[in-house]
Structures are given as C-alpha cells and as structure tokens.
Amino acid sequence: MAIKSLVSGMRLTGYYFTHHKEILTQEYPDNRETLTFGERFRGEVVMPHDENNEHRCTGCTACEIACPNGTIKILTKMEVGEDGKKKKAIEKFVYHLGMCTFCNLCIVACPTDAIKMSHDFEHSVFDRKQLTKVLNKPDSKIVKGVE
C-alpha cells in the first residue's frame, strides 16, 4: 500500500516536472511584484478615500452590528451641517485586524459602499497593537450627497 502511494505521488511529480505551464503554485515572496489574486480575495477591510480626502461613511454602525465578533467599533460625533442642522458623523472607525475572520459581513451590510476588502495580506507585526487601525484618515470628511 505504501509503495503504491509512493509510486502514485512520484508519477504526479514527474508529470508536473515535464508540464511546467500547468503548475498553479507561485514562488512567493520572489514574485511580489507580479503576484496575482482572484478579484474576490479578502486581505483586509479598508475605507477608500478620494483625492479630496473624502469617504462615504455616515457612521450608521450597520457594519459594527453585522460583525459577529466585535472587530469593528464606530465612534461618532455630532456636527453642524451647511443647513445649520446637527447630524451624526464618524469620529473614528476602529478596526481590529487581528480579530477579523474576513467573513465579509460588514462589507455587505454597509448601505453606502464605504468599506471594501483590499488585497493586502502581509500583516505580520512584532506588536499586536499595530493591528488595531483607524480606517478614516485624519481630517477626512464624508462625500457630499451621501446620507
């Protein structure tokens, strides 16, 4: 039985030795510059900002509620809008990357497409505090028209 399984494994190894184009594995990290990912690869939750340092997050907390393990914490504040009325705005979007299971539920729950999954996957750090991130950039504000 052991011999049979050894021969079967060696046959497969021999096949890929002569059929290089069919090899699916990639030589990471030597290929960092040319590394390719599937479009749906989930590396990290991020909040895109445009060239005016504006994002689409209203601070509604739907993502925080949807997250099954408390990875997201939304801190909000009250701001006076151009119309003179007070309205809720995001102060900090805290994301604990070390706790994230990349389930995508927060992304699906967001009504304004304010967050998405990036392809970044190299998350090793020496201090786990560095895995706690604030996703809204300093002095950023919400894009006009997003409520």
Under rule CB under 6 A, which residues in 48-87 are in contact with ligand SF4? Answer: 57-63, 66-67, 69, 71-72, 74
E-state strands within 6-103: 44-46, 54-55, 72-80, 86-96
Q: How far is the CB of 45 from ligand SF4 (least distance, A)?
A: 5
Number of residues that bind ligand SF4 (CB under 6 A): 26
Among 46, 89, 105, 131, binds ligand SF4 (CB under 6 A): 105
Using omega within 30 degrees of 0 as the cis cutoff, is the peptide bond preceding 29 cis? yes
Among 46, 103, 131, 143, binds ligand SF4 (CB under 6 A): 103
**Residue matched to tokens 């997003």:** 146
Beta-bridge partner residues of 118: 44
Helix (H, G, I), strand (E, B) or coil at 17: helix
Q: Interface residues with ligand SF4 (CB under 6 A)?
A: 45, 57-63, 66-67, 69, 71-72, 74, 100-106, 109-110, 112, 114-115
